[in-house]
Chain A
């Protein structure tokens, strides 16, 4: 995974709360078996409304999405993160994320930062006042900088470390092979095995 540290881009205000992953990418777009190419599915149903923010030319090329609270609820589909990433977003901010979405973001180098509701409003004001405003997202210092304003975002320390170092979770875990093997040696014998198959 590529290291994620700091970038500067423009923002997009998504002034909707409770954005579930069925809205971020409807199920019909989940059928691809590759890991890229999901940008067309991003907010596909809402995009059919010409007034939807993704269709506003002022926000084209935005890399920072600022959304209402409870973002990414519902289905566990990691495709929601892939769609945001493939569309070009590098960071999403909200006052509250669903747990699975948060976990999925961290695996894909998408910064999902938690900010207060007041800071959400502040960012929306700055972006709407000037859609071309440059927003700097600095992961090591956990700061969002726009115009003269500095906003702190929360992200768990471990995810931050992994993102800034560009580390692969599986690689990290495999370093603990001995501990995994030791655990397996003491697992209870009544625990089920799928093989050999029974009940077929």
Chain B
């Protein structure tokens, strides 16, 4: 074997090649796992029906309901008729095509990117797709995981393959040890701020280094989840013992001889020592502070210890214009200390930060504390299973005693599609992934934060780090 050294992403590409494209045609890749939800699938099923096509591999396909679903009174019919119709369309389509679905009320219902890993369906060495850009989450397992559009959903349903153009590779090296109160979310927000929302375009990002290795699977998912916010095709982390330990007792983990063979195959899923990345970025974990956004794209972030930058400090005219526009929308002034920004709402949830460790991290901070006056806090577990586990651990009680709303699972306030929305002008510290204009409701203002910062902010009423509580 004297083949060219490859990065992890390139190995996964090679291993899934059905056909190599010729004369500029894309490569055809096999898809190991296809996750479906109600928003981006109805037109794909319609397309199948119109063409008289069937689902090729229903045994590699799974659906859940998350974007439109309410997070309270889930035993009642969905109030909004269009949301109800969309969820019903998914139920009808999965029944017609005989696809496994986890509906509202089921313990495996929840945000699609929480459900795949908790069932043990997400594992190293796979290609995973879903009609949702945050599919990058699953890259945390050493899988090549990509968000796709509805036409591609239809394509995967019909053929279990996707024509894809090759990507470039970027190494994100994060070395060092995170300080207390600093988490995976702060790493990824600082990465996006460093390379900008377009910096990853055309790339698969591989997160490497000691700080990444020391993260739990859930922390790794938080990082890979927001690769798309850097514009990347996907984010990936090489699997290791942490990955294998996480998977071992999951329902769909390989058994017996398959487990042994899987471990053997997975241990080869690393970037070769001599492989060359097309680009490299370095982040120092030792000096990283909690990171928060001030603007209306996820790249507009700073350390929580800093102030809002002056738009004039940006050399790039379009960045400067974007900063001016963002500050007007956010109703903020350059030079304001981030810690002086008061919020109305704290949202703990989303596919970025609604797993059990996120809930534990926030609960540990608010336990026995009092919420700042006038604040509303919503806690929305990523799946029903996370909710049940949190209740087993008594976390629900911690949140409720604190005065927070304890909800059922779903995408909730991450996007303005279900009843959980901010009012116009309302300001939120949110553990979600997008601070776009209107993302959490028309006219709503979003600061992206980690679960620990969210919790400290709910106590103090202004953007705060856990360390601020000790002073």
In B25-71, the 8 Å CB interface with A consists of 25-26, 28, 30, 32-33, 39-40, 42-43, 46, 51, 53, 58-62, 67-68
Partner of B151, one of A31, A169, A183: A169
Q: Indicate if the CB atoms of B165 and A156 lie closer than 8 Å.
A: yes
B265 nearest CB neighbor, chain A only: A188
A77 to B118, CA, bound (A): 25
Given A98-B231, A104-B151, is A156 in contact with B24 using a C-beta cutoff of 8 Å? yes
| B152 at the A interface (CB under 8 A) | yes
CB within 8 Å for A189 and B261 given contacts A198-B119, A199-B120: yes
For the side of the interface on A, what is the size category? Answer: 35 or more
Determine whether the beta carbon of B155 is less than 8 Å from that of A75. Answer: no
Q: Do the beta carbons of B83 and A173 come within 8 Å of each other?
A: no
CB proximity of A42 to chain B, nearest CB, Å: 14
Q: Name B134-152 residues within 8 Å CB distance of A.
A: 147-152
Q: Indicate whether B5 reaches chain A with its CB closer than 8 angstroms.
A: no
* B28 close to A76 (CB less than 8 A): no
**A103–B26 alpha-carbon span in the complex (Å):** 12
A69 within 8 A of B: yes
A97 → B minimal CB distance (Å):
8
In the assembly, what is the distance between CA of A11 and CA of B165, in Å? 30
A27 close to chain B: CB less than 8 A: yes
A170 touches B159 (CB 8 A): yes
With contacts A33-B42, A107-B152, A192-B32 taken as known, whether A99 is within 8 angstroms of B202 at the C-beta atoms is yes
List which A32-77 residues lie within 8 A (CB) of chain B: 32-35, 45, 68-70, 73-77
Tell whether, in the assembled complex, residue A199 and residue B251 are in contact, meaning their CB atoms are under 8 Å apart: yes
- Is the CB of B305 closer than 8 A to any CB of chain A? no
When chains A and B are docked, how far (Å) is the Cα of A133 from the Cα of B62?
50
Q: Is A23 part of the binding interface, using a Cβ–Cβ cutoff of 8 Å?
A: yes
Residue contact A194 to B62, C-beta cutoff 8 Å: yes
Asked if A194 meets B61 with Cβ closer than 8 Å, knowing A76-B133, A180-B160, the reply is yes
Contact for B149 among A78, A96, A176, CB less than 8 A = A78
Q: Of the candidates A18, A45, A158, which one forms a contact with B24 in the assembled complex, judged by CB atoms under 8 Å apart?
A: A158
Contact: A104 with B149, CB < 8 Å? yes
Q: Which residues of B contact A161 (CB under 8 A)?
A: 24
Q: How far is the CA of A30 from the CA of B231 in the complex (A)?
A: 22
Total contacts A-B at CB 8 Å: 217
Do the beta carbons of B120 and A100 come within 8 Å of each other?
no
* B215-258 interface bits toward A, Cβ cutoff 8 Å, 1 = contact, 0 = none: 00000000000001101010000000000000000111010001
Could you say which of B151, B165, B416 contacts A26, with CB atoms under 8 Å apart? B416
CB distance from A172 to the nearest CB of B (A): 8
CB–CB B149/A194 < 8 A: no
On whether the beta carbons of A96 and B100 are closer than 8 Å, the reply is no
Contact B160 A76 (CB under 8 A): no
**Selected interface stretch from B170-178, B354-362, B430-438, B459-467:** B430-438
Q: Give chain A residues whose Cβ lies under 8 Å from the Cβ of B416.
A: 26-28
Cβ contact within 8 Å between A176 and B18: yes
Question: Does A195 touch B at the CB level, under 8 Å?
Answer: yes
What separation, in Å, do the CA atoms of A161 and B23 have in the docked complex? 11
Write out the residue numbers on chain B whose beta carbons fall within 8 Å of the beta carbon of A189: 258, 261
Question: Are B160 and A170 in contact, CB atoms less than 8 angstroms apart?
Answer: no
Q: Is the pair A169, B163 in contact by a Cβ cutoff of 8 Å? A: yes
Q: How far is the CB of B166 from chain A (nearest CB, A)?
A: 11
Q: Does A108 contact B (CB under 8 A)?
A: yes
- Do B155 and A74 touch across chains, with their CB atoms under 8 A apart? no
- Cβ distance B457 to chain A, nearest Cβ, rounded Å: 23
Decide if B372 is an interface residue (CB 8 Å cutoff).
no
- CB–CB B131/A194 < 8 A: no
Q: Which 5 A-B pairs have the closest CB atoms?
A: A199-B251, A107-B151, A78-B149, A157-B24, A104-B149
30 of the cross-chain contacts (CB-CB < 8 Å) are: A17-B322, A22-B434, A22-B437, A23-B438, A27-B417, A30-B39, A31-B85, A34-B43, A69-B318, A73-B297, A75-B434, A76-B147, A78-B131, A96-B201, A98-B201, A99-B201, A104-B150, A104-B151, A108-B151, A156-B24, A161-B24, A169-B163, A170-B53, A172-B163, A173-B161, A173-B163, A183-B30, A190-B262, A192-B252, A199-B108
Partner-B contacts on A (CB < 8 A): 16-18, 20, 22-23, 26-28, 30-35, 45, 68-70, 73-79, 81, 96, 98-100, 103-104, 107-108, 156-158, 161, 169-170, 172-174, 176, 179-180, 183-184, 187-195, 197-200
